[in-house]
Structure 1
C-alpha cells in the first residue's frame, strides 16, 4: 500500500493536471481533477447554504468552467485549489443573485397591461358615474351618511347601529331605501 503524497506534492500535481487540461485538453487530467474536486466542492457549497441538488448543479457548472477556462490558469497567481474554489464561490454568488432577482416571466398576468377601454364604453361609464354622484347628492342626509359608512368605509351594520345610536332594523331599512333610490336614478335616462 502506497502512502498518500504530502500536501505540497498533491497541490503541485493538481496544478500540473490543470495546466495539462489548459494546454492539451487532456481528458484524463480533467477526470482526475473532477474526481478530486467534485466531492470537496459539493461539501463547500453545502456549507455555503446550497441544498444537495443545487450543490450538484453548481459543481457541474464549476467543473465545466474549469474545462473551458483551464488555459487561463496561472500557477504563479494561485494554486489549482484556490482557482477552482474561487470559481465555485463566484458561481454561488451568481446563484444567490438569481434567487433574489428571479427572471421576469413575460406571461405573468401582473405584467400584462390592462386592455384599452373602448371610447364608447368609457363615455358610458363616465355618464353613469355622473348620474350616480348626482343621485348620491339627492339622498336624504341620514341615508347618505349610512350608505357612506356601509359601502365606502366598509363598516358592518351592527357597528353603524351602535355608533349612530339607532336600531339595527332602521339602519338596514334606510340602506335599502337609499339603494332603491340609486337604482332608480341609474335606470332613468339622462
Structure 2
C-alpha cells in the first residue's frame, strides 16, 4: 500500500473518531492538514486570501458538525472535505449574488413586553415541554432535529438511518399528538 493511500485511510479514521467520540485531537490533525490546502485551493479558484481562510474555517467547522454523516465507502476524507468547501463557497456566492433587502427603519421604540405577556410565554413554554414529555422518544427526536435544530427532512433521515417517508410520518404523527395535547378540548371550553 502506498504512503499516500495509507494517509487517506488515516484521515478517514480521524473523521470517524470525530464522529464517534468528538475527538478534538483527531479534529486538530484534520484541521492542520486540510485547512491550508483548502485555503490554497479556494484562492486558486478566485477567492481572496481572507475569504479563502473564512471558507476553509467554515468548511472545517462543517466537518466537525457533520462528521457522523461521513461514509468512507462513498469517498475518501479529502474528497468529502473539499466537496464541503466547494458547496459552502457556492452557497455563499449564491447568497451574495442576491439583492439585499432594504431594511425598514422604525422611528418608534419597540414596545416593552408587559408582565402578563411574559407569563403567557413562560406558561406556553411549560405546556409545550409537558406535551413533549408525553410523546414517544423517536417522535421527540425527529421534532428536535426538524424544528429546534432546523435540519431538512432528508438530513434527518440520513442521520437516523431511516427512510424519508418514516421521518415525515413521525413528524406528522408527533404534531397531531401535540395538537391533541395542547388544544383545549371542546368540553373544557364550554
Q: Does 1:68 align with 2:65?
A: yes
Structure 2 residue matching 1:22: 3-state secondary structure? helix
2:35 corresponding residue in structure 1: 38
Larger Rg: 1
1:98 corresponding residue in structure 2: 95
Aligned residues: 104
Of 8, 11, 15, which residue of structure 1 is paired with 2:12?
Answer: 15
Structure 2 residue matching 1:8: 3-state secondary structure? helix
TM-score normalised per structure 2? 0.53
TM-score normalised per structure 1? 0.53
How big is the shift at 1:104?
1.5
2:53 corresponding residue in structure 1: 56
Query: CA RMSD, aligned part only?
Result: 1.4
How big is the shift at 1:95?
1.6
Tell me how far apart the structure 2 counterparts of residues 88 and 33 of structure 1 sit (CA, whole Å): 14
Query: Which 5+ residue runs of structure 2 have no aligned equivalent?
Result: 106-190
Query: Which 5+ residue runs of structure 1 have no aligned equivalent?
Result: 109-190
How big is the shift at 1:60?
1.2
Q: Does 1:47 align with 2:44?
A: yes
Tell me how far apart the structure 2 counterparts of residues 7 and 79 of structure 1 sit (CA, whole Å): 12
**Deviations along 1:22-65, whole A, 9 cap, x unmatched?**
11100000000000000000011111111011111111110110
How big is the shift at 1:107?
4.0
